[in-house]
Structure 1
């Protein structure tokens, strides 16, 4: 998993620090701080001693934020639902469930479509597990574990997914996650993440400003966008066989399909 230390330096709510755009930056000028991926900043909620009240509100607000920007309803219709069956159970693993809203939503949508989906969701952070303990499970098995723990256990699933996880990882952790994903998945792997872009950054900054004092959604969301990839950047750091596609709004979908044809 990603290094969960808070960065020593702090940014203001707009979160831009000055850097010179590299020669490989996008063709049109981008604001300093977005032309290059920020690999130093750490999200405030990842600090072990962060305010528990703000953390709990952040977990609860993930549901609204993900519903508006993550595109999982579309991913479900296009990628997941066609692989489900009305009688044969399909197993799905969510790595790094955070607030638990994504696995609960997927399982609910499948049930409404009268399809059988058995979902397991893991997160190594015990605070995430404590949060979901107070929520209706809706058919999801939540567990405090890492992907490496499940690989060591010999677990396998028909599909493996994650949401907003890739931008947390350094090169070593990214390599480990992708290897674990393939080891755990019999078929499809879907890693859904943010795409770094000025338009998305400034829109998110304005839209979430009312949440800045009550939770970490505003500050950490801006840090996450700065840490996220552009499509060409992500494609260059993943092994052969992984495909990066763009998705509206400002999304990247990293996929690997090991399903027998």
Structure 2
């Protein structure tokens, strides 16, 4: 717990290893939807940043960077359909393992899966109403973070916004995740990397002050619940109330 006073950017998540167990990795991807529903507060992200930029008559594009198993895009599409709004989500990830997993899901209207990086899309001149990611920032070193933010500005140019959500490192957050997942280690989370990598993720994540110090001009940090940080860029970065 004392180590949480400083970001541990040397800690490595097990699922990031190219030699990790394929069955455990598959199980981890399968569990992301349940876990993110609890810890990522995706519905608040949708209400605050995405829904106000959607239309009932014109399809708007959202980019999800580092999509993993694509559970976040699927949730966004489900909420947009329920609201009668037109949405297309391009979900990208350069990791062939996550792309393969996501590609095996049943086809969903509005979901575009691509094995690509944000730089590739930005270089191709792609544009999106919202550029977002979930639990990606803590994986990145300083150079990679700068690259993602620069790519996001290009991808959202012309009136779009970028919102990158991540964990806020804290002792309370670490203890809460450790205790909250403990009862499920032998059942729901068994055979996955969710608990071990979740705790490592918290150790690798930023505090609000650390993240703010890492951001270039034009970006700001917004706190969310539970133990969430958002790095935000673009016009009207306050967003409507959630």
What TM-score comes out, normalization by structure 1 length? 0.85
| Equivalence for 1:77 | 47
Which residues in structure 2 correspond to 1:9-158 (within 5 Å)? 31-138=1-108, 139-158=110-129
Pairing partner for 2:133 from 155, 162, 174: 162
| Equivalence for 1:199 | 172
**Distance of aligned partners of 1:149 and 1:259 in 2 relative to their CA distance in 1, 3 Å threshold:** farther
Q: Secondary structure at the match of 2:116?
A: coil
| Equivalence for 1:220 | 197
- How many residues end up aligned between the 2 structures? 230
Q: Secondary structure at the match of 1:88?
A: coil
CA contact (8 A) 1:122 1:145 kept: yes
CA contact (8 A) 2:53 2:129 kept: no
Which residues in structure 2 correspond to 1:230-245 (within 5 Å)? 230-245=207-222
Q: Secondary structure at the match of 2:44?
A: helix
RMSD, matched Cα: 1.4
| Equivalence for 2:206 | 229
Which deviates more, 242-251 or 134-143?
134-143
Report which of the two structures shows the higher radius of gyration computed on alpha carbons. Answer: 1
Per-residue deviation, residues 22-77 of structure 1 (Å, max 9, x unmatched): xxxxxxxxx31100000101110001111000000100111011001101101111
CA contact (8 A) 1:93 1:160 kept: yes
| Equivalence for 2:240 | none
Which has the larger helix fraction? 2
Q: Where do 5+ consecutive residues of structure 1 fail to align?
A: 1-30
CA contact (8 A) 1:104 1:137 kept: no
CA distance in 2, matches of 1:60, 1:206: 21
CA distance in 2, matches of 1:79, 1:176: 22
CA distance in 2, matches of 1:68, 1:213: 18
Per-residue deviation, residues 205-236 of structure 1 (Å, max 9, x unmatched): 12223336510001100000000011011001
What TM-score comes out, normalization by structure 2 length? 0.92
CA distance in 2, matches of 1:152, 1:86: 30
CA distance in 1, matches of 2:234, 2:42: 18
CA distance in 1, matches of 2:94, 2:220: 27
